[in-house]
Chain A
Amino acid sequence: MNAASWRIYRALVAQDLRFRVLGSRLGLLWLILQPLLYLSFTTVVFFAVLGVRLGPGGVWEYAMGLLAGLVAWLAFSEGLGKAAPSLLERSYLLRNVPIPRWVVPLVPVAAALLYQGVCLTGVIGACAFRGTLGPGFWQIIPALFFEALLLCGFAWALSAVTVLFRDAQYLLNFALMAWLYLTPIFWPAHVVPDRLAALLVYLNPLALLVVLFRGALLGDPIPPNVWTTLAVLSVLVLGLGYLFFRRIEDVVADFL
């Protein structure tokens, strides 16, 4: 990323954030309120409905485990949901100003990471308050790094596909929901047979992230090979996403 691309990216992110809160009374406060409201609501609902029955440990443990998992999914849902139509939404700009196209899908990724940062701060604060924050806390940093790589790769691929195949947006909404339920977030991995669980976890970057988030924040054990698998997967997704985007972007521009 050269200086000009970085400058344009920054300007677009700033505009994106401003645009999201434009005209609302509470303004930028919504950046914090929105994810917190969502997380509190989900926690209360699942805790009241399912929490006591499913939780192997105490209520607190279940709620925190749920939150740590949801935080990972939230970045995917928020970032990819907005990245997919990002090229279409900026078509007026892309048709008129020679900006590098590849920075555009990364704009919602930044906003998603920001959202997630706010949520994480809340979860970390809660854990610290209860004194359950383990010494492996620092691992959240590399986990977030790999998550960012994954988001970028997926964002590139999805944004380009969405331009040429508009139905992808609707499929994506369904896919994100399915992804949430296929990932051991609401349910613990041990309720399904070991082999299936291994498949669902090790081929699913989101599940790997959930395992790492829980490991870092709650001190849950991290199974072997999770880090390496995630590293390989995220670099693969990033690289393939980028190559695909650069290969197809000139055709994509014809449809903007």
Chain B
Amino acid sequence: MARIGREKVNAPSPVLSIREATKVYQTSSGLLPLLRWTLGGALENSRGAVAALQGVSFAVAPGEAVGIIGRNGAGKSTLLRLLAGIHRPTAGAVHLGGRTRAVLDLLSLFVPQMTGRENLHFGLELYGVSQGDWEERAAEIVRFSELGEAINQPLRSYSNGMMLRLAFALATSDPPDALLLDEVLVVGDEAFQQKCYERVISLRDQGTAIVFASHDLYRVEKLCPRCLWLEGGRVVADGPSPAVIEQYQRAMGEDPHLQGIPEELRSWAYHKADKGPYGAWALACLDGSGRPSERFSTGDPLTLSFEVERRTDAPLLHLMFMLFRADGTLISQDIVEHRWTKGGAGERARVRMEVPQLPLGPGRYYFNVLLSEGDTVAPYYDFERQRVAVVIDNSDRDARFRRGVVWLEGKWKVEE
């Protein structure tokens, strides 16, 4: 197990901690196993036993946010269930202190035949909220979840997204000591996810310990300074997120810089990493005044700018430009051709693409630039590990009514 630069200076006492924990799931049911276990048969090596976690040690302190990454079946959910106190480890020790709230799967504590409000009251009662505070808390939860009148409908009429809204709002309505989140947040729409992450960050800053299991490595890195990588029920790495995530992606055969690029483009986009005819440098998005920026609003001017390093005397520059949304959807792609008029190997040129008014709706995007010498043979693109991320955020601008996928710029006329 590799520990990457783990600091242990004045660590506050942990909210949740497990030591050398092993969790073995039994799979063969029936009367005989039942009898054997009742009479004290060993759990670890009985037939059909599956070890989901093996000797995992982990602790999270107040105000700390830890991401849990790893493949499907790596033990992420089992670890969360141990931390939530739902399962007990088969071996090892668990220390659980304070109030822990978990949003693990969507059904959590919900009875589909009852209305959202009845489920909500049941949840508040389970969480030990005194009855006098129910009205106030329920109102806050309904407000945050934006369920409106739907709160009085039976839960079976809810979509997954609505269930998530209720579950998340309920779990976070008062700052818990620890908040455990499994992959569920992805069923929310973009706007609600954003709202959830903002709340998680504010809870974290108020001292709630956060444990967040996810495949969305970008989110994990943004939210959690520390990250735990599980593989086959064991901890592979535990340390600062950027380092652990990069290590994880390399192990997955996935270059961190290729994130967001669809599978079918990768093989030929990323062929000759450092040996191509061109290199691209200093890729950036500039705002209206020419300063690099990550944050824009719909309708803002944007200039994509980078430098091309010419490594050969190739006469042609083929420039492929791609724009992806954070979920990997290709939004726009085009190829631009340029024939050099002077100079050769070793020289640099500045390239700019000016967008007078950004037509993109709110969200997170990546720009990619691929450079080639314009030959016709396939594996010639030299993807220079260059991409740049921008966030389109219309929340506090005149553009706040501009929503949707694209912004259609039209000329309006009212003829009276």
Contact = CB atoms under 8 A, between A and B. Distances in A.
A14 to B, nearest CB: 8
Contacts of A96: 86, 102, 104-105, 107-109
B122 A95 contact: no
Contacts of A22: 113-114
A97 B29 contact: no
Given A97-B109, A251-B37, A251-B43, A4 B114 contact: no
A92 B126 contact: no
Pairs of residues from A and B, 7 with the lowest C-beta to C-beta distance, nearest first: A98-B85, A11-B125, A96-B108, A92-B107, A164-B34, A164-B29, A254-B25
A111 to B, nearest CB: 16
Contacts of B199: none
B214 interface: no
A156 to B, nearest CB: 13
A158 to B, nearest CB: 12
A161 B31 CA distance: 8
A19 B114 contact: yes
Contacts of A166: 29
Interface in A5-24: 7-8, 10-11, 15, 18-19, 22-23
Given A7-B125, A22-B114, A165 B34 contact: yes
A33 interface: no
A15 B128 CA distance: 15
Contacts of B27: 254
6 contacts: A4-B128, A11-B122, A11-B125, A92-B108, A164-B34, A244-B38
Nearest to A92: B107
B26 interface: yes
Contacts of B31: 164-165
Given A93-B109, A96-B109, A98-B84, A255 B26 contact: yes
A93 to B, nearest CB: 5
A241 to B, nearest CB: 12
B105 A95 contact: yes
Interface residues of A, number: 31
B38 A247 contact: yes
A145 B38 CA distance: 28
A178 B390 CA distance: 72
B87 interface: yes
A15 B122 contact: yes
B33 interface: yes
B272 to A, nearest CB: 49
Contacts of A253: 86-87
A249 B415 CA distance: 75
Contacts of B43: 251
B100 A255 contact: no
Interface string B46-84: 000000000000000000000000000000000001001
A95 B109 CA distance: 9
Interface string A75-110: 000000000000000001111111100000000000
Nearest to B85: A98
A163 B33 CA distance: 12
Residue of A8, A10, A96 most packed against chain B (CB within 10 A):
A96
Contacts of B25: 254
Contacts of B113: 19, 22-23
B18 to A, nearest CB: 14
A13 to B, nearest CB: 11
B87 to A, nearest CB: 6
A248 B84 contact: no
Nearest to A22: B113
A17 to B, nearest CB: 12
B30 interface: yes
Contacts of B107: 92, 96
A15 B88 CA distance: 27
A194 interface: no
A18 B118 CA distance: 10
A8 B100 CA distance: 16
B111 interface: yes
Interface in B104-131: 104-105, 107-111, 113-114, 118, 122, 125-126, 128
Interface in B18-43: 25-27, 29-31, 33-34, 37-38, 43
B33 A164 contact: yes
